[in-house]
């Protein structure tokens, strides 16, 4: 039996739990499943301070952003723990926390193609403004992966 590889992109929105619950309900009973949680973040730029008070202030703000990124990675680890508590073995679940390379939709499509994922489970945020942007990401991903992987977009 072939291994089913599932990618679950996370944007740390309120509906992420729906994606996790869907994956648990649909796949946790299957031992031939590997789930990968994914988040791409905008990298924090490195700056040269050189005893410049303005740059030192900016460096403090960048430090805050690095802490914010670390908190997001911890949230991804918590999502992994939810999947394990939901019935997956620890060896069946991992995560990718990586800097954004292109556009989020393009990064997801390339990852699916490179790592040979069979399924992508995404969600939409109920916020009206964000819904426009997230819908476009899910549409780009589903259009870009036609025939290459099953794409589930949850509301």
Query: Is 56 domain-assigned?
Result: yes
Q: What is the SS3 assignment for 122?
A: strand
The reply to whether 115 and 153 lie within a common domain is yes
The reply to whether 86 and 113 lie within a common domain is no
pLDDT tens digit string along 7-21? 999 988 878 889 999
Domain of 56, in residue numbers: 24-29+42-91
- Alpha-carbon span 120 to 142, nearest angstrom: 9
Query: Is 12 domain-assigned?
Result: no
pLDDT at residue 31 tops 70: yes
pLDDT tens digit string along 92-133? 999 999 999 988 999 999 999 999 999 999 987 655 555 555
Total tally of structural domains belonging to the chain: 2
The reply to whether 87 and 107 lie within a common domain is no
Query: Is 83 domain-assigned?
Result: yes
Is the CB of residue 124 less than 8 Å from the CB of residue 135? yes
- Residues 6 or more apart whose CB falls under 8 angstroms from that of 62 comprise 44, 45, 47
């Amino acid at each position: 039996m072939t291994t089913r590889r599932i990618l679950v992109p996370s944007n740390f929105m309120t509906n992420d739990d729906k994606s996790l619950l869907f994956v648990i309900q649909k796949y946790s009973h299957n031992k031939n499943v590997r789930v990968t949680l994914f988040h791409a973040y905008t990298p924090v730029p490195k700056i040269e301070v050189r005893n410049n008070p303005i740059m030192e202030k900016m460096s403090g703000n960048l430090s805050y952003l690095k802490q914010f990124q670390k908190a997001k990675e911890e949230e991804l680890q918590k999502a992994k723990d939810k999947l394990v508590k939901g019935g997956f073995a620890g060896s069946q679940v991992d995560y990718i926390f990586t800097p954004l390379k292109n556009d989020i939709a393009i990064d997801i499509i390339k990852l699916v193609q490179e790592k040979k994922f069979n399924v992508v489970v995404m969600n939409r945020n109920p916020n009206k403004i964000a819904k426009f942007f997230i819908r476009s990401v899910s549409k780009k991903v589903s259009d870009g992966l036609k025939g290459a992987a099953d794409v589930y977009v949850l509301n």
